[in-house]
Amino acid sequence: MEAFKMTPPEWTESAGHAVQFCCPKCGASSLEAQEVWINRRSPVYTENHRRKWQEFYLCQCDYPWWAWSSDRPPSKYASSAIDPFSEDDEDIDTF
Ligand SMILES: [Zn+2]
């Protein structure tokens, strides 16, 4: 599992910030990425005192992008939070 290595993979250096939690280029979701790397070394505290960190994804279209873990839409494994963006997911995928 590469995702939790301490050293960032080379492809993260050119990653672009994705405001929506999906590939800014082709709109594919993070679940479809071919590589993942999570920057757990430098978490940031949000105004709600919750931790967030950068999650890097190498998309299936070879575009590297990153987004804050706090921006990730809730999954079926974390359904406690109501995410205002979750209803938009289907629209994003059709880009
Ligand atoms: Zn893509």
Rounded to two decimals, what is the model's pTM? 0.71
> How far, in Å, from the CA of 48 to the mean position of ligand 1?
31
Q: How many domains does the chain have?
A: 1
Tokens of 52: 């967030």
Q: What is the pLDDT of residue 16?
A: 97
Mean pLDDT across the chain: 81
**66 Cα to the center of ligand 1, angstroms:** 12
Residue 64 falls inside a structural domain: yes
The Cβ-side half-sphere exposure at 43, using a 13 Å CA radius, reads 9
Residue among 41, 69, 65, 64 at smallest CA distance from 54: 69
Domain-embedded: residue 91 = no
The yes-or-no verdict on residue 89 having pLDDT over 60 is no
Compute the distance from residue 14 Cα to the ligand 1 centre, in Å: 14
DSSP per-residue letters across 37-95: EE-TTS-EE-TTS-EE-EEEEE-TTS-EEEEEGGGSPP-TT--SSPPTTGGGHHHHHT-
What pLDDT score does 95 carry?
42
Q: Which domain holds residue 50?
A: 1-72
Assigned token pair, 33: 């990425």
Give a yes or no: residue 11 inside a domain.
Answer: yes
Domain membership flag for residue 94: no
